[in-house]
Chain A
Amino acid sequence: MTRMAATRDGYGQALLDLADNEKVVVLEADLGKSTKSLHFRKAYPDRTISCGIGEQNMLLVGAGLAASGYIPFASTFAIFTERAFEQMRNGVARPNLAVHLCGSHGGTHTGTDGSSAQSIEDLAVFRTLPNVVVMHPCDDVSTRSLTMQLPDLGKPSYMRTARNKTPVLYDGREDEIQIGKGIVLREGEDVAIIACGVLVSESLKAADALAKEGINAAVVDMHTLKPIDGELIDSLVAQCGALVTAEDHNVIGGLGSAVAEHIVANSFAPLEMVGVPDRFGESGQADEMLEVMGISAPYIANAAKEAIARK
């Protein structure tokens, strides 16, 4: 039986793992129980700063700490990170201060809170900021591993995690996970499915379904959206000649756009983009939301066939 876990738990664990580094500090905006920074707070209250329900202040307190030699990890819901976008832009990214922002509960997969809590644009907006590394890992193991690499990054980052549990893919494979390097989870020659976050496991399901129809789909976990792993995309274009992207995010501006931006300037292949179809979400269970948005495994499989047909 596949172990199930939420990526936010990987984040919480990583903060604890990093605590030996006395420069690591944690900033909260009244959602530590949800983003999972609460474990760090409990163990290291002196290095945890409550910013109340004030995300704009939190980002810049982080900037001041980073400018003073600390390594701040700030978290809130993905949707509320957007409230502090201009702080991230002008006070963090512009002076290139290594504040690490984590937005949990990203995407429509977050479920029944409904559209106000379902961030579908966070990856897009943070991807537009110079200096900022953007990540959206798919399981708790990779989230933990990526988070633990952040103190050495030397620049700001945004990481989206998810509220709900998804299959764990990397137990025992921690060493394979590196910021900026996509991971081929399944080899294939007919089409390559490039996914991030909760849609990585959906993409694996889609590949299983396609295999039954005689189509060999490669599946890639593109946990880092920026910088995008262009070398890997080039090799997928050469190998498969058709691409699909899959993300629980507006189809505008996220992973699909990042891949499209790369291939139009390099070796080209037909690309089908599976994502939230430029609409807001609504209340529903996580699996229901993937259906409503048209981004679950069957939709990914269909998109793969369409991409192949365009070869």
Chain B
Amino acid sequence: MPKTITELEEIARKCRVEIVKMVHRAQAGHPGGSLSEIDLLAALYATRMRVRSDEPDWPDRDRFILSKGHASPGMYAILAEMGFISHEDLKSYRILGGVCQGHVDMKWCPGVDFSAGSLGMGLSFGMGCASAARLDKSDRRAFVMIGDGEMQEGSVWEAAMAAAHHELGNLKVILDRNRIQNDDFCEEQMRMFDIPAKWKAFGWNVKEIDGHNMNEIMEGLDFLEAPENCNGPSILIAHTIKGGGISYMENNPSFHGAAPNDEQFHQAMIELGEVEA
């Protein structure tokens, strides 16, 4: 599944279009965190995940757990891009009976490995998946994406401690460090001080990247997969921009959980190159 950087960037662009369409159509949802994570998801799914879109429940697949489960439009967009669901399915986002539930749900959507939406849970679940892989003597991996605000949940650190204790080298975390949470900037809500030092102190392999630079993302994913980093759990701290790619959403806490109006939607489509200005 080799892809050029340009190809990956185009996948991410197409996903951004779908993200904005989903939240605009539903007039609800979480665009900010979907846009900040999407370059990472595009690279991960297009170049690393060992999954089968025609057999989403394949037992020996890699797992991906979107622990920040509210950022579901990003997940649905990449799942549609990878063929797990159709682009038509994306129209069901937040609609009664829809495949695309408000928060990612394994009971509703093919390719979703964990029903998230309540923060602080995905890393523990990923540890369970990684433990199962070890018991199965399988080389499958569990990738978990967490948010930075989410790290304020104490249970994240229960899992961080336990995964390092058990030396789960098949557990890979990507932190979407977008610096904004529901109410405000993280720095205002709850300062987290030296995040890399915290994970290092918990016994994790740590690397920081620019989460919107596709070259750095690929290096970061190489780091997660490197044999020397499979002695224990690893985390890729990806510095991102909340709302990244849509000018008026960027670094704007009000677009954590709000939809664009029609005018804003049109502007977003222009910025993403979907329509002429």
Contact = CB atoms under 8 A, between A and B. Distances in A.
Contacts of A50: 162, 165
Given A64-B128, A94-B115, A56 B135 contact: no
A70 interface: yes
A57 B128 CA distance: 9
Contacts of A65: 128-129, 131-132
B172 to A, nearest CB: 14
B127 interface: yes
A95 interface: yes
Given A90-B118, A91-B121, A61 B128 contact: yes
Interface residues of A, number: 31
Contacts of B136: 68-69
B133 interface: yes
Decide if the interface of chain A is mainly helix, strand, loop or mixed.
helix
B28 interface: no
B138 to A, nearest CB: 9
Contacts of A56: 120, 124, 154-155, 158
Contacts of B114: 63-64, 67, 91, 95
A52 B165 contact: yes
Most chain B CB within 10 A, of A52, A64, A94, A96, is at A64
Contacts of B132: 64-65, 67-70
A167 interface: no
Contacts of A51: 158, 162
B135 A87 contact: no
A25 B118 CA distance: 26
A69 B125 contact: no
B135 A25 contact: yes
B162 to A, nearest CB: 5
A54 interface: yes
Contacts of B117: 90
Given A50-B165, A67-B106, A90-B121, 11 more contacts: A49-B131, A52-B165, A60-B121, A61-B128, A63-B114, A64-B114, A65-B132, A67-B114, A69-B136, A70-B132, A94-B107
18 contacts: A25-B135, A46-B135, A50-B165, A51-B158, A54-B155, A56-B155, A57-B158, A58-B124, A60-B128, A60-B159, A61-B125, A64-B124, A64-B129, A67-B125, A68-B59, A69-B136, A91-B115, A95-B105
Closest 6 pairs (CB-CB, A-B): A64-B128, A68-B132, A60-B124, A54-B158, A57-B158, A61-B128
Interface of B: 59, 63, 105-107, 113-115, 117-118, 120-121, 124-133, 135-136, 142, 154-155, 158-159, 161-162, 165-166
